[in-house]
Structure formats: C-alpha cells, structure tokens
Structure 1
Amino acid sequence: MLRCHLTLLFGILLCTCARAQDFWSDRHFTEADTLRGMLTPARTNYDVTYYELHLDVAPVDHLIEGRVEMDYTITGELPLLQLDLYRNLQIDGIEQNGTDLRFTRRGNAVFVELPHPVDIGSRHRMTIHYGGTPTEAQNAPWDGGFVWALDQKNRYWVGVACEGDGASLWWPNKDHLSDEPDSMLISVTVPDRLFVASNGNLRAEVELEDEGKKRYDWFVSYPINNYNVSLGIGHYVHFDTVYRSFDGEELALDYYVMDYNLEKARKQFREVHPMLEAYEHYFGKYPFWDDGFALIEVPYLGMEHQSGIAYGNRYMRGYLGGLIPSDMDWDYIIVHEAGHEYFGNSVSVADHAEMWVHESFTTYMEALYVEFHFGAEAARRYLQSQRRFITNEEPMLGPLEVNFTDFASSDHYYKGAWMLHTLRGVLNDDPLFFGLLRSFYQDHVRSTVNTQQVIDYFSRFTERDLQPFFDQYLKYPAVPVLELRRNGQQTEYRLRADVAGLSMPVGVYIGEEPVRLLTTAEWQPLGRGIDPETVRVDDARFLVDLRVLNEPEK
C-alpha cells in the first residue's frame, strides 16, 4: 500500500517538473527539490494549526534532542502524510493517540501511514521524537543551519537561520510556505548559565535543578512561517521600552544583547522608533502587536525572524558600515529586517520562486524609510546607489514547485525595488501609488499571496492593465529598452520589450527639458531636429534602458 502511493506521488512530481517556465527549462531539479517544493495530496490534505517544539540544546557537543507536537486537521483523503526532516537527524518514533505509526524516509521527506479510516474534518495531534547533530551553517544567513560560536569572552553563543534551506534542517514539520500554524510554543532547554531568546513572548523560565539546566518557554500567538522560527542562546541581557503608535497604543519593544554590548545597543536601537513610525505611516501598525517587537543579537548578520528579529550588524551604520550612501547614518539591518515583518512575515508567499514579493517590497521600504525622514530626493539618491547591483541575469520570478532558492543575483531585491519605483513613475500620481501600497498590504495582512494576485490587485486598484508591465520585469531578465533613431529629419522612438503589447509612459530629458513619452512597440515621432544623443531616460524614476540606433531599420 505504501509503495503504491509513493509510486503515484513521484510520477506526479516528474510530470510537474516538465511544466517549468521556459527560461528555467534547462535547469536540473532533483527529487529532493520537488519533495520540498511541490504540494501533493500528502501535504495539501492536512492543515497544521499548532506546533509545540520541545528542544534540548547541547552547545558543547553541538547536539539537539526533542520532540514536536503537531496539531492538524484532515482536509482530504490522506493515506500518507508527508513531514520533512533532514536525513542527518534521527527520528526515534512517531505516535498519535497512543499508537506508534509506521513511517518511511525518502531523503529529507518522511511519509507517515495514518490509522484508517480518517474522517475529513477530524483533528489530531501527532508527536515526533527526534534528535542528532543538526546542519551547521557555513555562511549564515546565506546558507541555513545552526551557528555554533563563541562570544568575545569565549562563552558559548548559538543562533539558527534557515530561510531557503528550511526549518526541517532542525525540527520536523510540514516544511512548505503555504501552511503556517495559527500559533506555536517554542520550549528550549539549555545549560542554566545560558539564556534563550526566541519568537513571541516569554511565558516561563523553569529551573531544572537536578539537571543543571533551564527551560525557556516562548509563545507565538500569530501565524508564523516555519523558517521564521528561531532562537538565540547566549549570555544575554535584556532591556525594553515601548513604541507609541499614532493612535496612542503602546507596542512592547524587547532587546536581547550580549552583556558587553548593552550600552552600544541602548544607543543603536533608538533607531527602531523612527523605523516603526515610517512603516506605520505608509502601511499601518506593526502586524504582530500582541507578540511585541524584539531584536536578538546573533553571531551572524541578521534575519527577519517574526517578532524576534536576528541582529548581527555589530552596531554599525549601513550594512557593516557600507552599502548605504556615505552621508546617511542608519542601521540597514534594523530597517530591512523589520520591513520583512510587513512583507515576508505578514504578507507571505507560498513558493520560494515568488520571493520577489518578500524582498522587492522590503527593499523599497528602505527607500520609503529614507523618504519619510529625509525627503524624496534623498530616497531617489538612495535608490540610485542600488542600481549598480542590478545584473539582469535571470527573471526575478523563479520556477515554481521545486523549492527554488538558487537565484544567481540579488535582482529580486534591487531590481524588484526599482520595478516598484518605476511603477510609481508610470502612474505619476503619488496619492494613487501610496494608496495602492497601503491598501494592498491592509487587504492581505497576515495572509499568503502569489504573483498573479499581486498583479490583479494592482491592476484593479489603478484601473490599468499592469499584466504586461509585471510580466516584463518579473518573467524576463532584460528591462524594457527605449530605442531612438533618425528617420530623415525626424527623430523617432519606440519601446523594445520581450512582452508583446507592453506600453508605458517613460520620463526622459531632451537636453535639460523633462518630457513624458507614452511609449509603445510602434515607432512614433519625437520631433524634428532633435539629436538622439541629447536624449536620456529619467533614471531617477525609471528602470528603462536607452539605445540609439545608427540607421533606420529596413
């Protein structure tokens, strides 16, 4: 019975891979990729509502041992239930209602046979016991795993980052972005000299005197992406304050930092208030209010862990002292990772191929932070500083259903931000543009979206067909090109693009005079006696290339 279901499952996987987008057709994807990325009945026919993660961490030996309690609801026929756990971690047993369940492992996927019959709509709790040596990150947060480090006083310091690689590298779960638990308990036991900081609110600290250990119970009261679940273990000190929203409600701000960095943190983390103020202005109140906002110092650069953001920027301006213009002085990691609380943690995608939604909006939020506090010209200058990172090597939208995280560049950050900024230029109506951003966010707060939903919403709100615009920027490597040519005494222009029918206004300068052109694929007259070499695209507002043709096409 088990073998038959597995055979059917992998047949479906192979068929789905053949439907990959044309650009990615020569990219090889493994069975492991499809097992992680694809939604088969073994995943879609149950809905996780709650996790309890009980974990004992041994920093000296780099070992973990624990169990996961998973509450779930049956939503369809489910002869096999797929969980995920990296193969280097051992499963010691799976049980439900006091009964041991049979399971089979295939790579990092675990297929569990359920007692039958199982009624649709019924609710269950499954317990998975596991342990071992978890994956160790070699370059966190760009690769996933545990970070076993020593602090400046040669004391144990531990962090976890797992975006892309998946939460299943350290705890068993349904490791797919489409299914977030409604809430979660994170209970971690460590040697009693250490402190554990995690997501949500700290509910209990329990001394286990006989074992020389201490347990910390954290509770997340909102839906959470599995990769956002994390922890920091170290010699932390805690301080707190509040942020008062525009309506006067107070948000708890908690900071967990190394004891020797307390004074640096008190100064640096003052930047949280103006950051929250800017984001509230554009999008609304912080989305995980009851869980509070926290920064947790970690031994790697940072990550957007929901309500417990990992911070490792060493209390420096910019990105470890760089990345932002030299005359600007703000902490990139605070501004960027906190932006993900809105796009990434609140508005989420169900497939890593669509990660542009997380990163493009959040990267543009950096510019909005600058605009709110320092003005529109400073924001445009900040955006200009990012253009050098745009490579146009591949589409920002990756192949679906294969857990694709191997983008060749950071275009889904910087090019994506410029795509949104270009849309602002195309609309040429800031009240409309900012109303669009706020309404889209508010209408999708704490929910999952896909690319087509974004495009459809933006088109309806603006009463424009934005499908060709987004198709060009998301599905093709190249950006549109404004082409100019002489035709006798006349200078003409058109828009060259991969997407048929793309038409969009483009701002240009003819000499020093600003002109707005409604470009199409057809040649149009620009004017007599105009030297094409004197024309330039308004590159403070549009991500559009310019090409001057030497001779008219035949």
Structure 2
Amino acid sequence: MFGIAQIFSTPFATAQKTDVGKLSSGGKLKPVQANMDIRKYTLNLDVDIANKFIKGNTTVNLQLKNAADTILLDLIQHYTIEMIKVDGKPISFDHNEEKIFIKANGGDGVKPFSTSNQFNAGNHSVLIVYSGNPPEAVRPPWLGGFTWSKDRSGNDWVSINIQKEGGRMYFPCKDHPSDEPNEGVEMNITVPAGLSVAGPGLLQKTVTKKNKSTFYWKTNYTISNYCVLFNIGKYRVFKDSYTTINNNIVPIEYYILEEDSAQAKRVIEAKKRDSKILEKYFGEYPWYKEKIGIAAVPNSGMEHQTMITFDNKFIFTKVGGQDYSANLFHEYAHEWWANKVTNRDWAHMWIQEGIGTYAEALAMYELGGQEAYNQIIANHKRGIRYRKPLVGGEELSEDETYAGNDIYTKGSFFMHSLRYVLGDEVFLKTLKQLATDEAYTYDNTVTSTDVEQLFSKAAGYSLKPFFDFHLRTTQVIEVSIKETGYQQYQIKPLNYFMDLPFEITLNGNATRMILGKDGISVKSTTVPMVDAAGYYLKKVVIQ
C-alpha cells in the first residue's frame, strides 16, 4: 500500500451514508460517461465479516472516445476514498451525490494531469482506493446490498445482490447497462481462512496466509455490473462436467454449504437436464470456455453470470415425473436472456425477463407436454396486471421499468402470441437467431426495436404495430361478434392496428382466418368463438 501522505495531500473523501432505497441503476446516460468505454474492472477487496466492512481498491480500465477534462464514475457515499490515480499519477477528485468526479485540471495542491488540463482520447487506467461499510440488503435480491448471515451450523454466510441499485453499491464503475467491460473482470477477494469465495469466471488460484485466504477469480467475457460480485460461505465444491450441443466440455461447479452436501447430486443432474432444454431452443451454453456455476445463498436466486445463485431450500416439483425447480431454471435461463442477450437500457428489460420467463413454458413443454405448456401460459396470463406498458419510454432506470410492471408475465405471453402469429418454424428459428447471432449478443446490447426488426425480417412484413401495441400500451385486442342475419355474423376488431390471424370456431370447427380492419362475415349455426385457445390478450364483445 502506498503511503497516503506521500502521494496525495488533500483530505480524504469521507463517507456519508446514502439512502440506497432511492437508488436505481441506469437511466439517462450523462454525456461525460457516454464518452467512456469500460474495458475491464479489477477488484482487490478484503472483507472484514465481523465488522461488516470492506477495504481495498478497484482499477477501472477505460477508453475515452474524445479528450475530456473529467472522468465520471459511480460509487455510493458509504465509502471513504483514500486516493485516486489515473495512469499512475495522483489526481484530484470530488465524491458527492454517489458520483466520483475525477478532474484533469488539478487543484487542492495536486498538479494538473497534463498541460492541456485534459485526459487524452484513448486508454486510461483509474485506481481508486477506498473502504467502508456496504449497505445491508433489506429484501434481497429485490432490495439489494450485502446480506451478512449464518448457516445452520453457525458459519458466516455472505451474499451480494445489486441489480436494482447497481455495481456502485460496492465498487466504482460506470453504472449503466449499456456498457459492460469488454475484457472482463478480475476479482481478488480476501476472507477469513476456512471460508470460500464463489465468483464469476474461473478460479485462478487461492492463497492462504495466516488467518486469511484470497480467492483470485477472472472472467474474460463481458459481464453486467450487477453480476460483478461474489458470495462467501463454508462451501464444499462439487464438480462435474457437461458436454454442450457443440461438443464442448464445460466444468460444473456447485458451491454448496457443507451441511447440505447430500443435495448436490440432485441439483447438478437437474442442471444438466435444464442445459439440454435451453440449448435446444437458444443455442450453446454461452460461457462454455469458463464454467456452469451454482452458489448457495440465503435469499432467492439470481442470474449472476457463470455463478447462478440458488436459495438452498431444495424445493422441487414433479413435471413429467422429473424434478423441476422454477427458481433454478429461471435464473439459469438468464445466462442466455440477460447475460448473453442484454438490454441496452432498462426500458427494454422485458427482453431479459419476458423471454427468460417464456423459457419456463418451453421447459414445461419438454418435460410435461402441451398440457403443461398451456397451464403455465395460462398462469402467466392470469398474472398480468396491466398497470403500465412493458416499454414506458427510453433511458429509464431499473426501478422505473421494474416496479409494478408485467415484464415477466406479459413478456412471456407476448412471446406466446408472437409464436402464434408467425408459426413455430419461423418463430423458433428467429428466437434462436436472437440468442446466437453476434449482432445481438455478448459485446452487443439490444433494444425492443432490434428485436422487432429481426422478427419483422423473418416474417417478411412489418411487425412494428404488433410490437408497439403489446409493448407500449396496456390495451388488449378488442373484437366484436355481431349477428347480422339468420346464422350470419360479422367479426370485426374494435381497436384495429394490423391484420392478424385468428382462430375462428364455426359450427364447432376451428379455422385460422385473417382479421383485417373491416372484419369478416361468416355463417355458423352457433355463435362463433374467437381465439378460443387463448393466443392473444383480448376482449370479445358479443352484440
């Protein structure tokens, strides 16, 4: 550690507690941060569990698109920043309102970074040394922070959840979903000896000195800020392997509490089975160069990249005679829908959560057949509350989109409706393309428009009205059935937005028909039924 007095003569930026309940990551990106491209994060942290305290440093490697007088990072006020260096030079900074303003023009006894008082365009390395007490989670994983707990044997057990509040909850970063570190993350986490750290990527080494152990984790993949984290426990690591659809062998590592070791095989076997289902529809497991990871945590699971967390309750239901955990499967589906295919802006969060939830319906079909699929889709439909559109604008924070929204249930049902419109062949092929094409994956983030344009191209006509109606309004399709004569009826949309196929039941027989703006006239000995199978969110008015 550098001597502080030797390298930085100004007072420390002292900690002032943040009301983290009001925090929500994302939102409108400030121009100074839009000028920054994050390349890599390196975290070196010592976790003092007894005092619920962390200390260490984070190095942010970034690229400036244009020369700038300020580098802007995010970090909540819970921490004391001891010093900051840019490219090895001590630098002046302000830490307020959850942001770190790093200035090139010097001040407070610190020399200017350069004669031009600017950071040049190109690559820079920013070292931030800090310490403090992280916020404690109120209702993890939804209201996040650190959870300091004990397992049943009295061992320390720590989890981190920061999706809503962002990475700034414990490390300096550019806290926006549009910018992931292209060159990955290194996490070197020190904990009391006897405990283990579960992290993203691959464990490079473990070094134990006296009463402390440091775990060196590294991922070379891009990764969302809220997945840059670790969990601590008295873990036993169960290992296995999985051969992907492309014949790559991926290690499986399950960080399970020692006291629950008897459950490990059951969870791993379910994981292998789930991998096959997800690969069938969405392509090869995304992180085959690293691992399939699972970590036991004292809260509901989360989609932390290459180390999905599991709530450790081992509650399974039987579907088609097989063990199934909705929590384990849903979070695993996020390895494709969230971690590989990532929304550029929280406004488009339905892409991650809605398609991740629809993946559960596909799993039901694989395990329990059409009836199981129909049942879960019906459950999703019943869960829709219609309070706000799935996409409520652009450049929204996580909370603005997530709170009170139907991104899970309506997002899933929207996929169900789109599948009916396009037919299985086009829909499933295009869905897999969305999950596998480099234009939409890894370094490249997506919006609703990207998804719409991909499906429109596959359909051969514009689906924009269909996407806009379902994503940007809370309306349902309204259809009238009007008797116009003896056994004669007119079926007509009341809020037409585009021609759509409907299953119309006449005389007990269902036929797929196109319903346009002017509707259709039909003959039937009984009152016709529209979309009896329930492919659409709709209201039928019989006149």
Q: Fold-level match, TM-score > 0.5?
A: yes
**Partners in 2 of 1:509 and 1:137 — Cα distance?**
53
**Partners in 2 of 1:545 and 1:36 — Cα distance?**
33
Match status 1:112 vs 2:102: yes
**Partners in 2 of 1:338 and 1:146 — Cα distance?**
22
Relative distance call for 1:172 and 1:317 in structure 2 (3 A) is same
Counterpart residue number, 1:192: 193
Match status 1:347 vs 2:341: yes
Relative distance call for 1:33 and 1:190 in structure 2 (3 A) is closer
**Partners in 2 of 1:350 and 1:99 — Cα distance?**
33
**Partners in 1 of 2:357 and 2:24 — Cα distance?**
29
**Partners in 1 of 2:251 and 2:508 — Cα distance?**
51
Q: How does 1:517-536 map to 2 (within 5 A)?
A: 517-527=513-523, 530-531=526-527, 535-536=529-530
Alpha carbons 2:507, 2:525 under 8 Å: kept:
no
Q: How does 1:84-233 map to 2 (within 5 A)?
A: 84-114=74-104, 115-116=113-114, 117=116, 118=118, 121-181=121-181, 182-209=183-210, 212-233=211-232
The aligned amino acid for 1:342 is W
Alpha carbons 2:530, 2:540 under 8 Å: kept:
no
Relative distance call for 1:349 and 1:36 in structure 2 (3 A) is closer
Alpha carbons 1:392, 1:479 under 8 Å: kept:
no
Match status 1:548 vs 2:538: no
Counterpart residue number, 1:290: 289
**Partners in 2 of 1:293 and 1:413 — Cα distance?**
24
Structure 1 position 527, deviation (Å): 2.7
Structure 1 position 78, deviation (Å): 1.9
The aligned amino acid for 1:459 is S
Structure 1 position 544, deviation (Å): 2.6
**Partners in 2 of 1:65 and 1:520 — Cα distance?**
64
The aligned amino acid for 2:365 is E
Relative distance call for 1:399 and 1:206 in structure 2 (3 A) is same
Counterpart residue number, 2:418: 423
**Structure 1 unaligned runs (5+)?**
1-31, 319-323
Structure 1 position 390, deviation (Å): 1.1
Can you list the C-alpha shifts for 1:221-260, whole angstroms capped at 9, x where unaligned?
A: 1010011112111100001101112343211110000001
**Partners in 1 of 2:78 and 2:169 — Cα distance?**
9
Structure 1 position 112, deviation (Å): 1.4
TM (norm. structure 2) is 0.88
Structure 1 position 373, deviation (Å): 3.5
Relative distance call for 1:34 and 1:358 in structure 2 (3 A) is closer
Structure 1 position 421, deviation (Å): 0.9
Pick aligned residue for 1:44 from 34, 37, 40: 34
Sequence identity (%):
28
Counterpart residue number, 1:414: 409
**Partners in 2 of 1:133 and 1:329 — Cα distance?**
40
The aligned amino acid for 2:254 is Y
Q: How does 1:358-377 map to 2 (within 5 A)?
A: 358-377=352-371
Relative distance call for 1:82 and 1:178 in structure 2 (3 A) is same
Can you list the C-alpha shifts for 1:426-477, whole angstroms capped at 9, x where unaligned?
A: 123x121111111122112313111111111110122121000000110001
**Partners in 2 of 1:63 and 1:483 — Cα distance?**
63
**Partners in 1 of 2:349 and 2:329 — Cα distance?**
19
Relative distance call for 1:521 and 1:394 in structure 2 (3 A) is farther
Alpha carbons 1:506, 1:516 under 8 Å: kept:
yes
The aligned amino acid for 2:352 is H
Alpha carbons 1:458, 1:466 under 8 Å: kept:
yes
**Partners in 1 of 2:389 and 2:321 — Cα distance?**
33
Structure 1 position 35, deviation (Å): 8.9
**Which range moves more in the overlay, 502-511 or 192-201?**
502-511
Count of residues in correspondence between the two structures:
507
Q: How does 1:252-267 map to 2 (within 5 A)?
A: 252-267=251-266
Structure 1 position 409, deviation (Å): 3.5
TM (norm. structure 1) is 0.87
Alpha carbons 1:238, 1:256 under 8 Å: kept:
yes
Relative distance call for 1:35 and 1:361 in structure 2 (3 A) is closer
Relative distance call for 1:245 and 1:97 in structure 2 (3 A) is closer
Alpha carbons 2:504, 2:530 under 8 Å: kept:
yes
Counterpart residue number, 2:8: none
**Structure 2 unaligned runs (5+)?**
1-21, 105-112
* 3-state SS, counterpart of residue 434 of structure 1: helix
The aligned amino acid for 1:494 is K
**Partners in 1 of 2:441 and 2:24 — Cα distance?**
29
* 3-state SS, counterpart of residue 373 of structure 1: helix
Structure 1 position 400, deviation (Å): 2.3
